[in-house]
Amino acid sequence: MSELVDFMFDNRKLRLALAIACLAIGAANAHAGDVSKGEKVFKKCMACHTVADKANKVGPYLTGLVNRPVASAEGYAYSDAMKEFASQQPAWDEAVLDKYLENPKAMVPKTKMAFAGLKKADERADLIAFLLTKQ
């Protein structure tokens, strides 16, 4: 009888662990961005940035941006404010990009960036998902 109780208890633990894992995977996917929607969001950036190649426009190219060192687009003349930010923030990881894209001027004041930001979290996630495809 005790073997049956032990088996049932272990089985419950296994089912609980599987349920928790499924919830965690679902939560992670709920925050994952949509690449095709991100491509549409990127249209707001196209006047100043490109992801087609490593050519600077009014702003630096964003090709390979995710996890790239801050202020490192070759040939772009960054503002002193962005260079200072780069000395404190080593790279554009997804979390830093999300915060920056929400309100660029709040995060790095006195830069050349005139864009007001993306207030909707899903738009930022979609844009970041799109940028990840442009590495």
Rounded mean pLDDT, 114-133 = 97
CA–CA separation, 114 and 28 (whole Å): 32
Classify domain 34-132 by CATH number.
1.10.760.10
**What per-residue confidence (pLDDT) applies to 71?**
98
**Between 6 and 38, whose confidence is greater?**
38
**Between 15 and 51, whose confidence is greater?**
51
Residues in the chain: 135
Return the amino acid letter for 83: K
Indicate the pLDDT class of residue 39, thresholds 50, 70 and 90.
very high
**What per-residue confidence (pLDDT) applies to 5?**
45
Say if residues 102 and 19 touch (Cβ distance below 8 Å): no
**What per-residue confidence (pLDDT) applies to 3?**
61
**What per-residue confidence (pLDDT) applies to 32?**
87
Rounded mean pLDDT, 88-109 = 97
CA–CA separation, 54 and 65 (whole Å): 10
Please check the confidence at residue 2 and state whether its pLDDT lies above 50.
yes
φ/ψ of residue 66, rounded to 5: -65, 125
Residue spans per domain, the chain: 1-31, 34-132
pLDDT tens readout for residues 11-35: 665 454 444 544 444 444 445 899 9
